[in-house]
Amino acid sequence: MTSRRKFIGLGIGAAVLPGLAQAAEWSSMGWTQAGEFGRLPLYKAIYEKAYVPAQGFAARMQQRGVVIHGIDADITGVWFNDLALQWRRRPVAIAGLTAPAALFCLEQLAWDHRMRVAFRATHMQHSDGTIEHRIQAPQTLAPQIRPSLDAEPGWGASMADLAMHCPLPGTSVATELAVDTRVVVDDVAVEPLVSWVIAPVNSA
Amino acid sequence: MANPPGVSQQDFSAALQAFADAVGEEWVFSSDEDVALYRDAHSPFWGEENELVASAAVAPDNVEEVQQVMRIANRYQIPMFPFSTGRNLGYGGSAPALSGSVVLDLKRMNRVVEVSERNAYALVEPGVSYFDLYRYIQDHDLKLMMDVPGPGWGSPIGNALDHGGGMTPYRDHFQAHCGMEVVLANGELLRTGMGAMPGAETWQQFKYGIGPDLDGIFSQSNYGVVTKMGFWLLPEPEVVRTVSVIAPRHDDAGPLMEILSNLSYSGVIDSYFSIRSPVLHGPRNAEFDALRARGSAATAAEWDRHAASRNLKFWQASLTFYGPEELVDARWRHVRERYSAIPDIEFDDGATYRFPMTAEEREQTAEKGALGIPSLDTFTGRSAQNQDVADGHIGFFVVVPMTGEGVLDSLKVLGHEFAQSNAGVTLGTFGSFHLRTIMLVCMLRTSRTDPEQNRLTRIAYERAVNLAAEHNWGTYRTHNGFMDFVLSKYSFNDNALSRFHATLKDAVDPNGILSAGRYGIWPKSMRGSA
């Protein structure tokens, strides 16, 4: 017996199309215009309040109209009070920039609702000031990854852009990149951070 | 997709189709991508040839479907491995004990069948998580408190069947259960205790029914699939109080444990307590390492001088009381009176929590476990018990005598052993998760990216089990990958226990289709080759 499962954003209808100004900005960064693929509608973006890149991630998400939720390491509240109820009604895509533990928990819980991690990036800060980004993403995002990491206002916001452009159905995770960026370190993360998207699986 | 061991491709394909006919095609999973979700996220064999993995998964929705699945499995001799919510991380998770088994995913069976506030019990299916039961209790505004283990995503049934524990007076989760419904390997449905009397309203009140008390054989075993289980709950207390007793010297361990044991046996302390040594659990330095390396040759006076140099008291016992405030006050007063016999003893009155709590209080408290509130805060970051949350751990909980010698010897012996190991073992506190019992909690790291870490962890675990057995200390629970090894330490009378397990197995599951290898119990066809 073979699986008939495909990877899509189940139940979220058509992709959200950008406005003209937004499309222009994305175009300047090399993002494909809406129509080829659009933005993945996200129910919520979760971010680790303690870390500056995560704050940047959240700010970008909020700017793009995504509801944000900050955590202090513990995902229990957003899980129990929100996602557990929502995913039981209807699986919806979420994104985040958090410590690895939060993604571990949400990924485990998402499997129960036939959802998968569609995008995963690990950000490891080294003592010499570099940050190593290891990104597992659909092949179609590959051209945007390096330029977006160097873009202002910072890689946290860039991860938000990448997450929002995580493609819709049919694209499997096929690319893994390692990129080092040199940043001015004024916020040292104790542990690696992760950016991620969790989205539903289609059973059709 | 590999076939289960001993099963032909033809039979496996036919069985999968029969499963699909029974539960619906969308609830049978055989693609590599789907089956990979059932890997043990904390496996100490991750990515290696010995990693225990499933061949397929079946997710029934109700008891009748479970019965059909068992009959199909018997017909085609398919090894099955049932799990509740599959979150037994540190002990195997949703991965089978026999690689290639078809996992029986019971998460869809997630009904809270009944909760009685008046009689303070719940009856649940295996897919109900602690979060689910807690939500039910809150949504119905029931004045009941659950007992919860570390992470709240586990199953009360799954946790109890693996002898897990928590903190309240109902902390021994298996002991706190009352009544089971079980699907046997041949598909027959059994109810235990008063459940065997049709219509009895006391199924969740009186455990024993009539005749032999069978429930224990379904725990840490492979004799049946539990499809319902009752649990006693605590009526919401007026207060919960967490306190501490602090003793300054090395040799205070003796009287500390003697008094604690007596208070526990007499019911004055009737819930979880822990013992830790700020000195022996504390940060190491050269003097500490030298003292511990000398073992019994290091004197109490030397240890006391070391503690004084670091401005540390030697022992801290943390206790929790539940109930009406006047009774809690009386118990704590009595405990202080008993411990006043130890010179220079100190007491910390800790915190008192009053019920009902507001939603905000429940969300913000740092002591969710003691208050019966499920949480995932155990995953929130590095701690003494959880060095690397990004990957995982296996648990090594050692049952030691409730004496000063038991506490001191196990801390020093295992502490020294783990200090020599490169596996990064975390030596935790002593916890009383079960009645009349303390265990030394140890966590060994696992990794999904570092096979060398896993190799060191496996070595450290086996050395620790062997060393503990040399001192007549046993572990109460173990990972799928070590079950035969751990059971081999329970060898009284030429392994009479293991032989009896096998006798039962042959009687209730002659085809050996259920959880082969779980806790070292193998079907006849696999004994000797396992």
Q: What is the pLDDT of residues B376-411, one digit of tens each?
A: 998 876 444 444 555 899 999 999 999 999 999 999
Residue that wins the pLDDT comparison between B68 and A172: B68
As assigned by CATH, the class of the B112-235 domain is alpha beta
Same fold, B9-107+508-526 and B112-235: no
Chain A residue with minimum CA distance to B36: A111
User: Confidence class of residue A182 from pLDDT cuts 50, 70 and 90?
Assistant: low
Is the peptide bond between A153 and the residue preceding it cis, with omega within 30 degrees of 0?
Answer: yes
Per-residue pLDDT at A5: 32
pLDDT, one tens digit per residue, over A51-80 is 999 999 999 999 999 999 999 999 999 999
Site from B1, B38, B376, B446 to mutate, A interface, most A CB atoms within 10 angstroms: B376
Average of per-residue pLDDT across A155-183: 72
CA A52 to chain centroid, in Å, comes to 16
Retrieve residue A63's tokens: 């700017």
Is the model's pLDDT at A175 over the cut of 80? no
What's residue A131's pLDDT? 85
Q: How confident is the model at residue A146 (pLDDT cuts 50, 70, 90)?
A: confident
Shortest Cα distance, chain B CAs vs residue A197, angstroms: 17
Give A63: exposed, middle or buried? Use CB within 10 Å, 0-12, 13-18, 19+.
exposed
The strand ranges marked E within chain A are: 6-7, 44-48, 68-71, 94-98, 115-125, 130-138, 173-182, 193-202
Q: What is the DSSP letter of B389?
A: T
**Averaged pLDDT for residues B221-240:** 98
- Rounded Cα distance, B168 and B189, in Å: 32
The beta-strand segments (E) located in B248-314 are: 273-276
Residue A124 distance to chain B (closest CA, Å) = 13
Between CA B231 and CA B148 the distance in angstroms is 12
Active site includes B477?
yes
Give percent of chain B with pLDDT exceeding 70: 98
For residue A132, is pLDDT > 70?
yes
ipTM of the modeled complex: 0.91
Q: What is the nearest CA distance from A84 to chain B, expressed in angstroms?
A: 9
pLDDT digits (tens, 9 = 90+) for B471-509: 999 999 999 999 999 999 999 999 999 999 999 999 999
Q: Span A27-51, mean pLDDT?
A: 68
Quick one: closest CA in A to B32, which residue?
A: A3
Compute the average pLDDT of residues B187-211: 97
Residue A156's closest CA among A45, A58, A41? A58
Q: How confident is residue A127, by pLDDT bands cut at 50, 70 and 90?
A: confident
pLDDT at A17 over 60: no
Q: How many residues does chain A have?
A: 204
Q: Could you tell me which chain B residue has the CA closest to the CA of A111?
A: B37
Residue-level pLDDT at B389: 53
Q: With CB atoms and an 8 Å threshold, state whether A5 touches B381.
A: no
- CA–CA separation, A177 vs A148, rounded Å? 13
The pLDDT, as a whole number, for residue A140 is: 79
Task: Centre a 10 Å sphere on the Cβ of residue B47 and count the other Cβ atoms it contains.
Answer: 12
Q: Which of B170, B223, B339, B476 is catalytic?
A: B476
Burial class (CB in 10 A: 0-12, 13-18, 19+), B163: middle
What is the amino acid identity at position B288? F
| Short-list B479, B515, B433, CA closest to B89 | B479
Residue A16's pLDDT band (cuts 50, 70, 90): very low
Give the pLDDT of residue A95: 96
Is position B353 annotated as part of the catalytic site? no
**Would you say the pTM of this structure is higher than 0.90?**
yes
Q: What is the CA radius of gyration of chain B?
A: 24
Backbone torsions φ then ψ of A179, nearest 5 degrees: -130, 130
State yes or no: is B91 an active-site residue. yes
Collapsed DSSP state (helix, strand, coil) of residue A24: helix
Question: Check: CATH 1.10.150.120 for B9-107+508-526?
Answer: no
Buried b / exposed e over B228-258, threshold 16 CB at 10 Å, is: bbbbbbbebbebbbbbbbbbbbbbbbebbbe
pLDDT at residue A18, as a whole number: 41
Range with lowest mean pLDDT among B230-234, B339-343, B526-530: B526-530
- pLDDT tens track for B294-320: 888 899 999 999 999 999 999 999 999
Give, as one character, the DSSP assignment of residue B172.
B
Domain ranges within chain B, ordered by starting residue: 9-107+508-526, 112-235
Higher pLDDT residue, A159 or B282? Answer: A159
Å between B32 CA and nearest CA of chain A? 8
Confidence of residue A188 (pLDDT cuts 50, 70, 90): low
Q: What pLDDT score was predicted for residue A204?
A: 37
The pLDDT assigned to B419 comes to: 84
**Site of tokens 């030397």:** B302
- C-alpha closest to that of B273 among B87, B131, B402: B402
- What is the pLDDT at residue B193? 98
Mean pLDDT of chain A: 76
Residues of chain B with C-beta less than 8 angstroms from the C-beta of A1: 13, 16-17, 20, 28, 30
Please state, in angstroms and rounded to a whole number, the distance separating the CA atoms of residues B480 and B92: 5
Is the confidence at residue B256, as pLDDT, over 90? yes
Interface touch A108/B107, C-beta < 8 Å:
no
Tell me if chain A has a CB within 8 Å of the CB of B2.
Answer: no
